[in-house]
Amino acid sequence: MATQEQVDELLSKMTEERERFLDQARLLSEESAARRPEGQTGEAEWSAKEQLAHLWEMERSYIAWVNAALRENGADLTGVRSAPVAMPVERANQYRVADLTAALEAERAETLAFIRSLSLADFDRTARQPMFGDLTVLQWLRSFYRHDRMHTDQIAGREPDQRRRRVL
pLDDT digits (tens, 9 = 90+) for 95-105: 999 999 999 99
Helix (H) or strand (E) holding 20: helix 4-26
Q: Quickly count: other Cβ atoms within 10 Å of residue 121's Cβ.
A: 10
Kindly state the average pLDDT of the residues 132-158. 93
Domains in the chain, ordered, with CATH? 4-165 (1.20.120.450)
**Which residue, among 161, 159, 149, has the nearest Cα to 24 in the 3D structure?**
149
Kindly state the average pLDDT of the residues 4-18. 98
pLDDT at 41 (0 to 100): 81
- Residue pair 137/124 in contact (Cβ under 8 Å)? The answer is yes
Lowest mean pLDDT among 41-45, 71-75, 99-103, 105-109: 41-45
Burial category of 66 from C-beta neighbours within 10 Å (exposed 0-12, middle 13-18, buried 19 and up): buried
pLDDT digits (tens, 9 = 90+) for 85-139: 999 999 999 999 999 999 999 999 999 999 999 999 999 999 999 989 999 999 9
At 157, the pLDDT band (50, 70, 90 cuts) reads confident
At 40, the pLDDT band (50, 70, 90 cuts) reads confident
